[in-house]
Structure 1
Amino acid sequence: MASPKPCQKKRKFRESWLEEPMFKWLIYEDSKMFCGVFRPVKRKNAFVSGCNNFQRSSLIRHEEKSCHKGAVTTTRSATLLVKCIQKQMKLHKMDSYLKFIVKLFLALSKFSKLINLQQLNGADLKGVYKHHEQFEEMLLSLSQTVDKTVHQHISEATFISVTTDESVDVAVFKKQMILITVIVEGCVKIYFGKNVDVIDGKADTIASAILNYLQEKRIPPSKVAGLGSDGAAVMTGRINGVGTTNCGSFNRSSLM
């Protein structure tokens, strides 16, 4: 008489597998196990169609397959890319608001009110900084980036032109505004240099302000081949004008 066949143990899915860090990809649906990484790409695999081999060893074998590891790496890269794009979009929004405030010469404290208004108008601003202090940091960072680019263009230029004119601030203190003109890849670029404090509008004072600025930015005065002004006598005077005072330092062979 033949001996009876041993009763096979019916295996069941264990909920504890879902909590194991190694099996973060594991999904249990309709009494089957799926791979959350493989299923979206629709690869041919037991964990795509649904696996009912409820053994921990089957999970480990799938975890160690090179195709699974490659899919995990691809998914992580895609997730990171999406996060970077979302971050760039948020920064782009902040940059737009920042330019709006700066161009209209509005106080940075108006940022919070501007953002609140945009939200009332239906703009999705979740995750966007709303306090003006963050915008102050961003403005400083942007200004440093712009200043670095300007300095690079000036350093690479063979010659530059300096344009200067007298100005005042809100408290009516004397200022001397300095602009730098360079040619970058065949295009003329005019950059704001500095609004310098001056004690008076004399030629020597203006000349010293220009030379001090050039020294501060490590720009050789010999690079200056042009001097622009409003045509006032203090600037263009043949004997005591700023151009004459600075001629010893500027490129006299091509000074215009």
Structure 2
Amino acid sequence: MSQQTLNGFGFFKSSSGVKRALESDSETVESPKKKFIKNLNQDSFEWYVADENGVWHCSVCRECKLDNAYARGHSKPGKTTNHTRHADSNQHKASVTRLKYKGKESLPKQVDNILTKEADSITSYMKCAYHQAKHELPKSAFKELIDLADNLNVELIKDKSCEPLYTSNYSLNEFHQSISDVIWEGKYEAIIRSQKYGLIIDESTDIGNKKQLLAYIQYLDEDGVKCALLENMLITTSHANAETITCKIKDCLERKQIDISKMVGIGTDGASVMTGSKNGVVKRLKDFAPSLIGVHCAAHRCSLATSQATKSIPELESYSRTVTNIFYYFSNSALRSNKLSEIQSLLNLPSLKFANIHSVRWLSLQNAVEVLYRSYPALVVALEHEAVTNSVAKGLLNEVV
């Protein structure tokens, strides 16, 4: 094969041709040389530090007492690429997690501590609610009791603004119901063991003008006859007739799982709705408890007897009005009450306030008369001073002297 032919295939080229070919290749093919941009430094890894001997190491792995190259350390700082690989290793990640929760209690222990704190807080709420109910304080006093407990650094459950929670009337009712349920649990077993029981029921109207039906239960225990509050039932219907009261009692006994047929006695007032021979509450309950005996409350009978007896004696009626007028004369004026208190002090008498006679308070006349008797000298002196300028005081003075 001739050289010309070989030249045609490009085996032989001139030096200038080779140079042009190399130049052409350099324009189309990039250099295989890699470019490296160092965008990390030693400061990017807070855990990579030098100890007192100048050994660079991973403080996280060393603190967790791991045996790896980074825990043992390097005499000179390593490459950042190696740091990155170490940071992504499972050993390093596990060490970071371990140190994160070091010194902290386990999850079950933390949950138990939270529940214990909440239980202590709820106990504090319960104590305040019990105090409010025991001393017959208004519901508005509950929040004041909670605020007092908060000021005394009692552990309470608070909202984001650090204000105690569960101070509403709804929460207070929940606390009262919970306390009532606990107290009732201890009574229930004794009532069941008693086999027979009796009820004491009466109607009343609270300060909110709502009709209430109070029911107490009497039962036999090892120590004798016991009495406990069964329930305070709200009557929401427009008529508190015998049918309504009977249904309330039946529902209450069923809800508390007490057998109505074992009821052998019931104490009520003398109102016809309770003791009516045809449609009274006692008559209706006898259909479910055949052995039931109705008893007219002795306290009600005594109150009726005393109140009816005074109506036939004009002097007692007049005396009751005088006692009532004296009460209102002093209670309606703070100045008169203060003057009476000063006179009692000067005469070495007990500082007493006159009592009123309530038609719903049995024998309240006794307390009113007793206070009047013990403060009689101070009363006369006070009325004598007031009678000079006050005709009402003059009239009262004529009645008591």
User: Which band: TM-score by shorter chain?
Assistant: 0.5 to 0.7
- The alpha carbon displacement at 1:76 in A equals 0.8
- Distance in 2, matches of 1:125 and 1:222, equals 45
Give the 3-state SS of the residue equivalent to 1:229 in structure 2.
strand
What secondary structure is seen at the aligned counterpart in 2 of 1:33?
helix
Alpha-carbon spacing, 1:192–1:128, altered in 2? closer, same or farther (3 Å) = farther
Pick closer, same or farther for the CA change 1:145–1:57 going to 2, 3 Å.
Answer: same
2:232 to 194, 197, 208: 194
Q: Aligned-pair distance for 1:163?
A: 1.7
| Matched position secondary structure for 2:106 | helix
Question: Does structure 1 residue 46 correspond to structure 2 residue 65?
Answer: yes
Equivalent position of 2:92 in the other structure: 59
Structure 1 unaligned regions, length at least 5: 1-10, 18-30, 37-44
Overall identity of the aligned pairs, in % = 9
Paired with 1:111 and 1:74, the residues of 2 have a C-alpha distance of 36
1:75 to 98, 106, 116: 106
Instruction: Return the alpha-carbon distance in structure 2 between the equivalents of residues 173 and 86 of structure 1.
Output: 38
Whole-angstrom CA distance in 2 between matches of 1:171 and 1:57: 70
Asked whether 1:123 is paired with 2:153, we answer yes
Question: 1:55-78: per-residue Cα shift (whole Å, max 9, x none)?
Answer: 44423466899xx9xx99971111
Secondary structure at 1:227's aligned position in 2?
Answer: strand
Unaligned runs of 5+ in 2: 1-41, 49-57, 74-85, 296-401
Distance in structure 1 (CA, Å) of the matches to 2:119 and 2:243: 44
Between the aligned partners of 1:34 and 1:107, the Cα distance in structure 2 is: 63
In structure 2, what is the Cα distance between the partners aligned to 1:34 and 1:161?
A: 77
Q: Distance in 1 between matches of 2:104 and 2:145?
A: 41
Cα separation, partners in 2 of 1:80 and 1:247, compared to 1, 3 Å: same
| Aligned-partner Cα distance in 2 for 1:196–1:173 | 7
Aligned equivalent of 1:228 = 266
CA deviations over 1:145-169 (Å, ceiling 9, x no partner) = 4676759949x94655322124333
TM-score, scaled to structure 1: 0.55
Greater RCO, 1 or 2 (C-alpha within 8 Å, sep 6+): 1
Residue 84 of structure 1: SS of its match in structure 2?
helix
Looking at structure 1, the residues matched to 130 and 62 of structure 2 have their Cα atoms a distance apart, in angstroms, of 47
Whether contact under 8 Å (2:216, 2:230) holds in the other structure is yes
Cα distance, 1:195–1:180 mapped onto 2, change above 3 Å: same
Aligned to 1:111: 142
Contact 1:90 1:128 in 2 (8 A): no
Picking from 174, 195, 206, the partner of 1:141 is: 174
CA apart distance, 1:208: 4.8
Contact kept in structure 2, 1:179 and 1:190, CA below 8 Å: yes
Contact 2:203 2:211 in 1 (8 A): yes
Does residue 1:168 correspond to 2:199, yes or no?
A: no
Larger radius of gyration: 2
Counting only pairs closer than 5 Å after superposition, residues 95-106 of structure 1 correspond to structure 2 as 95-106=126-137
The DSSP-based 3-state class of the residue aligned with 2:204 is strand
Q: In structure 2, do the counterparts of structure 1 residues 164 and 173 end up closer, same or farther at CA, with 3 Å as the change threshold?
A: same
- Name the CA shift for 1:137/1:32 in 2 (closer, same or farther; >3 Å): farther
Paired letter, 1:213: I
* CA deviation string 1:35-87 (max 9, x = no partner): 99xxxxxxxx727xxx935744423466899xx9xx99971111111111111
Q: 2: distance between equivalents of 1:83 and 1:53? A: 41
Q: Secondary structure at the match of 1:191?
A: strand
For 1:228 and 1:181, how far apart are their aligned partners in 2?
Answer: 9
Structure-2 separation of matches of 1:53 and 1:137: 64
Q: Kindly state the Cα deviation for residue 98 of structure 1 after the two structures are TM-superposed.
A: 1.6
Aligned to 1:178: 215
- Please say if residues 176 and 195 of structure 1, whose CA atoms lie closer than 8 Å, have aligned partners that are also in contact: yes
- 101-110 or 219-228, which deviates more: 219-228
